[in-house]
Amino acid sequence: MSEQTALRRRYPLLLQVSLLLALALGVTAFSIPLRFGEDVTVITTDQEFVPSIEIDVTVQHPEPPPPPKPPAPIEVAETEVDDVVHLPELGDLLTEPTIIPPPPAPPVDPPQSPDEREIFPIVEQQPELIGGLEGLQSRIRYPEMALRAEIEGTVFVQFVVDEQGNVNDPVCVRDPGGNTCAEALRAVREAKFKPGRQRGQPVKVRFSLPVKFRLR
């Protein structure tokens, strides 16, 4: 066996021994008490006192803005007055009589034609259908188209009853169809009413009636 090979084998053992020796020396060095002589002189020095000095804070005051410049003078052009207006004297005004114009006449409304008179939606005495709704329904002829299509329903007819109790401007506001509206208008035009009255006078009144169509 060569010397190098033997050294390599002993290397871990030598390393452990060296570490143990170093550790023992360190423990021994820290365990030895240190002794000092009895004549130990402690030197103390007084701290130098520095007085504080208060320094005033400098406040900067902004400079005032410069005064505004005076406005430039406005030059007024001189104009010559050609015509001189002569005012009347105060005495002349007091001696002259004051003329007050007469008040204007009130406007006169043109007479209204019978067609332009007011139509009332509600009056004290409503129009009355002569013969009642039963008489109106008895005059209804069921339209052939509505019969074939088996259409039933109610037609609401709106119209104006004039001062003589006649029906004017009838229109259908609801219609189930099948020519029921045309038949209802025909029956309503033939109807006669007692006119509606407002304060005892006959007036035009807007009125409506239901016309029923039922298959038997």
Say if residues 122 and 183 touch (Cβ distance below 8 Å). no
> One-letter amino acid identity for 195?
P
What percentage of residues in the chain have a pLDDT greater than 70?
64
Bigger pLDDT: 21 vs 204: 204
Reported pTM? 0.46
* Mean pLDDT of the chain, nearest integer: 79
Strand, coil or helix: 19: helix
Burial classification of residue 155, based on how many CB atoms lie within 10 Å of its CB (0-12 exposed, 13-18 middle, 19 or more buried): buried
Domain ranges of the chain: 118-213
Token pair for 119: 């139509």
Strand, coil or helix: 7: helix
Beta-bridge mates of residue 209: 157
CA 85 from centroid of its chain's CA atoms: 60
Task: Calculate ∠ Cα 148-151-153, nearest 5°.
Answer: 155
Say if residues 174 and 209 touch (Cβ distance below 8 Å). no
| Residue listed under structure tokens 């509606």 | 196
Q: What would the pLDDT profile of 137-194 be if each residue is shown by its tens digit?
A: 999 999 999 999 999 999 999 999 999 999 999 999 999 999 999 999 999 999 999 9
Q: How far apart are the first and last CA of the chain?
A: 139
Q: What would the pLDDT profile of 11-60 be if each residue is shown by its tens digit?
A: 788 888 888 888 888 888 777 665 555 555 656 666 665 566 666 666 66
Q: What is the pLDDT of residue 69?
A: 75
Token pair for 25: 């020396």
Q: Domain 118-213 adopts which CATH fold? A: TolA/TonB C-terminal domain (3.30.2420)
Q: What is the pLDDT of residue 109?
A: 55
